[in-house]
Amino acid sequence: KKEFKVKLNDADKEFIFDETQADLNKFDKLISEVEPGSLRLPVLIKKYIKQNAKVVAFNVDPLFNNSVDGLMYIKIADLPESTVKPVMEEFQAELERKMAEGLTNNVD
């Protein structure tokens, strides 16, 4: 594995933080403005970060066109309610369906 580290001087870091103001969409727009070919932040990374994922490390993957991979983790407790609620409702409906099936099977 090849570790990937971004080396920015303090002025560059300050510029990025001032311009993006901790806003992922602004950061994505900044990337598209400074990178050739209108590169953007990958959609899945944006979605994971919006789900409160944390980036642990990056590395360069030579087997996948030298793309940058990110190791991320998400604590279930940190997921937004808007993500958890539909899943819990689906589990609840499935549990109720199985319980109803069990009751009708026991009656037969």
Q: What is the pLDDT of residues 11-40, one digit of tens each?
A: 888 888 888 888 888 888 888 888 878 788
Quick one: 90 and 67 in the same domain? Answer: no
Cβ atoms < 10 Å from Cβ of 49: 17
Percent of the chain with pLDDT over 90: 24
Q: Which domain holds residue 83?
A: 76-108
Quick one: 60 and 98 in the same domain? Answer: no
Question: What is the Rg, in whole angstroms, of the alpha carbon atoms belonging to the chain?
Answer: 22
Quick one: 59 and 25 in the same domain? Answer: yes
On the question of pLDDT at 101 being above 70, the answer is yes
Quick one: 56 and 6 in the same domain? Answer: yes
Number of domains in the chain: 2
Quick one: 66 and 81 in the same domain? Answer: no
